[in-house]
Amino acid sequence: MSVYMTCLLRNDRASDYTHAFFVIRPLSGHTTKGAYEPFIWRWWRLFRRIHIWQVVIFLALLFSYLTLEVAYRLDPSILNRLPHPKFYSDLAGSLRPDVRAVARWHPDLPFLYTTDKQGLRNSVPPVAQANRRILCIGDSYTFGFGVPDAQTFPSQLQMLLNSWPGPNRFQVVNAGVMGIGIIENLHYFQTKANRMPADLMVLQFNIYDIELLRSDVEVQNYRKGKPFAPLEDRLLAEDVNVALVQALHANPVFIFLTSQPPLQPKPTTSATSTPEQDRLRLAKRVAGNKDKLLDERYLAFTAPLWQRYLDEANRLREEAAAAGMDFLLVIVPDPDQLHDYKNGPSAAILEHCRNRGIKTLDMTETFRRLYLDQGINPFLEPLDTHCSAAGNAAIARAIADRIAQGEAEPPVFLPANEAVRYRDPVTISLSFDDDGRFVLPENWLVAASEQDQRNMVLEYAADRTVKYLTTSKEGGEGHARLHLRLRQPVEAAALVFFPHASPGEPAGFCDVTLRHPMQSARFSTAKAPVPAGWNSFEQEAFLRVSSARTSIDELDIEVTTRGDGGLGLQDIHIGQPRRRLDLILYPAILP
């Protein structure tokens, strides 16, 4: 039955006041029981069905949320507010603007970060009247995840450049965003950064860029970003939801209830696939193992992924040049490269960029020397894999050393002096006989060798799980030297070894030197900042020599030991690490 509502005014003589209420009246002439029942009474009966505890819960949740909002404004550390990207279309940055928050990926590693009005992380201290600008783009390594504002490499670069004498005042813009790769960086420049005038651009690379390409994650967030809404985007509702979801995913019961059986693998080939598709499919499968992705020996398999990254980086370089910016690609190594001598990223990037005229800065060897020679870990290990304050400082110093600036001309990046390609390595596994003499396996690269040794012997460690080279029972110091003449010149050589130092009086040590006529590199457990770190046979060390002007055709390897110090060479058991003494040679390009 169709009804309509009317509002009636009726005077109640008994109470002498007028009140209004809604009634429901039938359109037809038929009468219905309750047809003239006040409409507001029906709503009252519906409200009475709601239990009082439901109202209490709603009010309690609302009060808790408002309390959290107020408490967070007073103390940002009470909420883990990770800097997730927002990709606002009307801001220069990709983060929430005017944020002062504490984030922690690991419970023991909180850090405070702030953003400016444009959604960019602040580089401190601010520069009032800057006449030069450097734009830094990249992922969470550029953002500076795990360190406060003043310890990111853009902030340290800004402080370092402005401490130099001269007329230039630099502003370094930190446009780093966690969780993005080269595709998003290119989109960022095309949609936002190309409207931001700058003299120099720094693009930061780490292995995560290739892992993103492998997973086919190409979410074009910059092309579908929404404008910034002050009221909605400043509230904590989304952060609270994220915190609740993270807590659920860390709950074992929730993990068990939501677990699914593993998916069946898809066929790797099809009748209609092209050779290019097959190579890309193989590259993605090999790149699923990060150890192989970091190893230059697997470049032939992972080449399609590297080529795709380099093509996008070259497009970014060309667009930066069209906007008047000089371009520098900075390679930040993976923490695993501190503990294992692998140079896949350098091998894939350096030669390609050199051929295309792209300026590069490889931080791999700098980080290794910082870790091995000074005992300073450039990463936040073991809690996190991002750069520490020391690692960011090393990046800032290296970038600053590459900037040439004049009084009138805009600053530019100097070309790199690095000549090593890390391509086609030849590994020679050295060993020793029981008398402590070098054993050189047959290989095509070594033409002749000479050696001498004194007071050296090959013995078992105390637990008889490792055989190692050490000083003989006669005491004093042991010494072994190997001189190599090469058939083909090499542009670089590296030595991988497992040194051992022993405590006690006198303390045992191991000293290893790799040299050619123009350069030498040395490692000694006696001069290590943390000598106790080498008391076991578990840590790998490496030396590298190269020549930017001439090729290398002669090499010397020297080992000096005292006491119980020495080199771990053979594992009696099967397991990791595989202790060895490897000489890695990188042949030069013949004309």
Please check whether residues 574 and 434 belong to one and the same domain: yes
Q: How far apart are CA 287 and CA 291, in angstroms?
A: 8
Question: Taking the CA atoms of the chain, what radius of gyration do you get in angstroms?
Answer: 33
Domain endpoint, select from 389, 423, 457: 423
**Residue 120 near residue 155, CB atoms below 8 Å:** no
Residue 255 lies in a domain: no
Q: Which two tokens stand for residue 194?
A: 């190309």
Domain endpoint, select from 403, 423, 443: 423
DSSP conformational letter for 49: T
- At 12 the pLDDT is 42
Please check whether residues 413 and 437 belong to one and the same domain: no
Residue 382 lies in a domain: yes
The neighbouring-strand residues paired with 438 are 432
Residue in 555, 511, 559, 551 with CA at minimum distance from that of residue 531 = 511
Please check whether residues 574 and 478 belong to one and the same domain: yes
- At 11 the pLDDT is 41
Please check whether residues 383 and 487 belong to one and the same domain: no
Strands 509-516 and 519-524: antiparallel
**HEC string for 340-379:** CCCCHHHHHHHHHHHHHCCCEEECHHHHHHHHHHHCCCCE
Please check whether residues 169 and 226 belong to one and the same domain: yes
Residue 559 lies in a domain: yes
Range of the domain at 14: 3-48
Please give the C-alpha separations between residue 296 and each of 337, 351, 426, in angstroms, as whole numbers. Answer: 12, 13, 11
Q: How far apart are CA 180 and CA 206, in angstroms?
A: 11
Please check whether residues 225 and 334 belong to one and the same domain: yes
Residue in 415, 417, 413, 393 with CA at minimum distance from that of residue 403 = 413
Please check whether residues 221 and 123 belong to one and the same domain: yes
- At 308 the pLDDT is 92
Q: How far apart are CA 540 and CA 536, in angstroms?
A: 11
The phi, psi pair for 566, rounded to 5°, reads 175, -160
Please check whether residues 111 and 226 belong to one and the same domain: yes
Please check whether residues 417 and 444 belong to one and the same domain: no
Residue 313 lies in a domain: yes
The phi, psi pair for 172, rounded to 5°, reads -105, 115
Q: How many domains does the chain have?
A: 3
Helix (H) or strand (E) holding 128: none
Please check whether residues 279 and 146 belong to one and the same domain: yes
Q: How confident is the chain (591 residues) per 10-residue block, as mean pLDDT?
A: 38 39 43 52 64 75 74 69 85 90 87 93 87 94 96 96 89 93 90 87 95 67 70 70 68 72 53 74 80 89 92 95 94 94 93 91 94 92 94 97 81 81 88 88 91 90 81 85 94 92 76 92 85 80 85 92 87 65 87 56
Amino acid at 433: D
Q: Where are the beta strands (DSSP E) in 240-359?
A: 326-331
The phi, psi pair for 112, rounded to 5°, reads -95, 130
- At 451 the pLDDT is 93
Domain endpoint, select from 384, 399, 423: 423
Residue 553 lies in a domain: yes
Residue 175 lies in a domain: yes
DSSP state letters, 43-92 = HHHHHHTS-HHHHHHHHHHHHHHHHHHHHHHH-GGGSB--------TTSS
Amino acid at 493: A
**Residue 428 near residue 446, CB atoms below 8 Å:** yes
Residue 99 lies in a domain: yes
Helices 299-322, 275-287: crossing angle, 10 deg rounding: 100
**Residue 81 near residue 103, CB atoms below 8 Å:** yes
Q: Which two tokens stand for residue 300?
A: 């032939």
CATH number at residue 161: 3.40.50.1110
CB atoms within 10 A of CB 545: 21
Please check whether residues 311 and 432 belong to one and the same domain: no
Residue 237 lies in a domain: no
Please check whether residues 410 and 462 belong to one and the same domain: no
Q: Is the peptide bond before 83 cis (omega within 30 degrees of 0)?
A: no
Q: Which two tokens stand for residue 221?
A: 């967030």
Q: Where are the beta strands (DSSP E) in 414-537?
A: 426-432, 438-439, 446-454, 456-460, 466-471, 477-500, 509-516, 519-524
pTM, entire model: 0.83
CATH number at residue 508: 2.60.120.1020
Q: How far apart are CA 333 and CA 377, in angstroms?
A: 13
**Residue 89 near residue 83, CB atoms below 8 Å:** no
Residue in 169, 178, 195 with CA at minimum distance from that of residue 137 = 178
